[in-house]
Structure 1
Amino acid sequence: MYKVIVFDLDGTLLSSKNKITKYTQQVIDILRTKKKLYFILATGRHYIDAIKIKDILKINSFMITSNGAKIYDLNNKLIFSDTLNDNIASVLCQIVYQEPDIITHIHQNDQWYINNQNIKNRFLPDYSLLKYQYFHPNFLVYKNISKIFFTSYNHQKLYILRKKIIDLFQKNVCINFSDSACLEITSEKSSKGYGLQLISHLLKISLDNFIAFGDGMNDKDMLTIVGKSYIMKNADINLKNSCPHIEIIDSNDNNGVAECLYNLFIRKQNIV
């Protein structure tokens, strides 16, 4: 029987309007009050954004944030933290700084830095509760950077950038597309999958008793180590192709996660 439920946020638990739907809230409320379950929010978002979603859901949950660079326990206490190597961070922050078709984003402590806000590069000012600031490579201190990510609607340029970063740093970074327009880089130790392993050890609950939902390539490592996993209908085609054995459920805009949970935990067990 599943004891731990793991949610990716964007493209999975959240609708495309960046909201928790009423139905999703209702289902989670039932699970929160009627079932003895643990919840985990596993997201590329910053801790400040994750805790806001946690509060909206009214759940006591672990949080894997910044793609595993920061992990928090049920009491919002930081239990794992890792940052990019200073020299690697310096290179990444400058690698496409002058590229007009790509935005460079930096999560450093509680700050969000960008190099431009061209909407054509998929700049999302409502993406975060953090207030962005502009950075210049000559004046940024390259310490305590948990995540660097690049956004653009020019997917080809992002794929070229991904190859360049891999060639430069190979296994010294963890690099994934959270979706086709967002390339994310953390340290080699940071991933959602590692976060689940850490929490599994703390809870003394086997990963076989975890159930996880995701939609991006940054979810792949966690989806492939748990007892049961689901991929969203709206997920990255690369994730679907690389995990053909994982069941696909309805989209985030059609309450795919909530409907799946209702069928698993409420309808079958006649919980009201």
Structure 2
Amino acid sequence: MYRIITVDLDGTLLSPQNKITKYTKKIIKLLLRKGFYIIFASGRHHIDMMHIRDSLNIRVFMITSNGAKIYDLDNQLIFENDLNTDVASHLIHLAYLDSDIITQVYQNNHWYINNSKIKNNFCPSLSLLKYQYFHLDTFNFSKISKIFFTSNNLKKLFKLEKNIISLLDKQVHARFSSPGCLEVVSGKTSKGYGLKVISNNLGISLQECITFGNGMNDYDMLKISGKACIMENSDSHLKNILPYAEVIGNNKDDGVAVFLNKMFII
């Protein structure tokens, strides 16, 4: 019944240590040998996602930066949509001077930040990229795939989200990937749009797709899939707006791999 398996990475396929366990690796390879198409869908930069894929020595589709860049099985870029230059400039100016929020930018193969205070939920160890500091008066606002804001001051992030939606509406797609990380991409894309691109490319119906996620940035792809599965450790808001989704195990217990093994292998 299902031919496409779409899976988020952080909080879903990856362990709390941000690794793919030996068990999960084994199950992924078994599923690929059975003929399933697998899509990795993440807010992560494409370079980091390519590293994860290559470490497994597998061929999978990749929806990167929440849909801003999409790659096929041969690592060819099949879709790309950056933020409008004026929109990117507006977004970057919004919280640049707020010391409680880090403004972070993915531009081409670079990662830029305006401050690196650990208290602002800064996690440089999650990326192979080396961050660089940027300054408003000299920064080029073109070719930006994703802007994200991190902080442990959740009230400020929720207020920022409302402000972004109010000011920019359909020009952007703003979602929380975790409570302390608000991610913004072009309004023309999302993980859900990425899934549509790949399913059309393969000529396979979305009803033949089973999708796994744990954050609000997974909502769009979960709601259009034939079967939606969310993690035990999912964002409570995601559970509330997807009451029909099946809640499976925790990412600390190889929840996705255990579920897939029972459903398609054993």
1:58 is displaced (CA, Å) by 2.4
- The equivalent of 2:227 in structure 1 is 228
| Distance across 1 between alignment mates of 2:72 and 2:256 | 23
| Distance across 2 between alignment mates of 1:55 and 1:204 | 26
Tell whether 2:154 aligns with 1:155.
yes
Query: Equivalences for 1:1-272 in 2 at 5 Å?
Result: 1-33=1-33, 35-267=34-266
Q: Give the SS at the match of 2:5.
A: strand
1:213 is displaced (CA, Å) by 0.4
| Distance across 2 between alignment mates of 1:169 and 1:27 | 42
1:15 is displaced (CA, Å) by 0.8
1:171 is displaced (CA, Å) by 1.1
| Distance across 2 between alignment mates of 1:43 and 1:79 | 16
| Distance across 1 between alignment mates of 2:157 and 2:213 | 21
Q: Give the SS at the match of 2:237.
A: helix
| Distance across 1 between alignment mates of 2:243 and 2:57 | 34
Q: What are the superposed Cα offsets for residues 143-190 of structure 1, whole Å, 9 maximum, x if unpaired?
A: 000000000111110000011111111111000000111000000011
Unpaired segments of 5 or more residues in structure 1? 268-272
TM-score, normalised by the number of residues in structure 2: 0.98
Q: What are the superposed Cα offsets for residues 84-138 of structure 1, whole Å, 9 maximum, x if unpaired?
A: 1111111111111111111000000000000111000000011211110000011
Unpaired segments of 5 or more residues in structure 2? none
CA contact under 8 A between 1:54 and 1:61: conserved in structure 2? yes
| Distance across 2 between alignment mates of 1:194 and 1:236 | 21
Q: Give the SS at the match of 1:224.
A: helix
1:29 is displaced (CA, Å) by 2.1
CA contact under 8 A between 1:109 and 1:146: conserved in structure 2? yes
Q: Give the SS at the match of 1:56.
A: helix
| Distance across 1 between alignment mates of 2:70 and 2:170 | 21
CA contact under 8 A between 1:28 and 1:57: conserved in structure 2? no
CA contact under 8 A between 1:39 and 1:59: conserved in structure 2? no
CA contact under 8 A between 1:152 and 1:158: conserved in structure 2? yes
CA contact under 8 A between 1:6 and 1:211: conserved in structure 2? yes
| Distance across 1 between alignment mates of 2:36 and 2:59 | 10
1:27 is displaced (CA, Å) by 1.2
Moved over 6 A (4+): none
- The equivalent of 1:270 in structure 2 is none
Q: What is the root-mean-square deviation in Å for CA atoms of aligned residues?
A: 0.8
Corresponding pairs, count: 266
| Distance across 2 between alignment mates of 1:30 and 1:204 | 23
| Distance across 1 between alignment mates of 2:35 and 2:166 | 46
Amino acid at match of 1:12: T
CA contact under 8 A between 1:96 and 1:104: conserved in structure 2? yes
Q: Give the SS at the match of 1:18.
A: coil
Q: What are the superposed Cα offsets for residues 191-214 of structure 1, whole Å, 9 maximum, x if unpaired?
A: 011111111111001111111100
